[in-house]
Structure 1
Amino acid sequence: MPTSILGQVDDLLGPAAACAAAGVTLQCPSCGSSHIAQVLGDNGGVSFVCTACGHSWS
């Protein structure tokens, strides 16, 4: 268990944090925007939502 809230945040960010650390930008497959939010899916999986056009994917 992490000793601080920062450790918990890193655990939640998962793939998006790894991409950001590697200098990779997620892009919407529909419109190409890099304005992407990471959200938890219904079954605990991770999904992404484009805040520019509303497209979602996992």
Structure 2
Amino acid sequence: MKEAEIDYLLVVYPEAKHSFTNPDADKFGEKFKMPLAYDENADKDSWQKLQVFLKDIFK
């Protein structure tokens, strides 16, 4: 990305598990014994950042 001089933002939620935006993820994680979990803070933050990104690219 740097070599191509592309402007980008990488956001990492280190404590968030797969399906962190799905409020039912905990239930499915338990049912299927998989590392799934809802993370309200990561969900809200990622949604807000997506809204900003979309607004920026579709001015």
Shorter-chain TM-score tier: under 0.3
User: Structure 1 or 2: larger helix share?
Assistant: 2
What TM-score results when the alignment is normalised by the length of structure 1?
A: 0.21
If asked which structure has higher relative contact order (CA below 8 Å, sep 6+), I would say 2
When Rg is computed on C-alpha atoms for both structures, the one with the higher figure is 2
**Structure 1 or 2: larger strand share?**
1
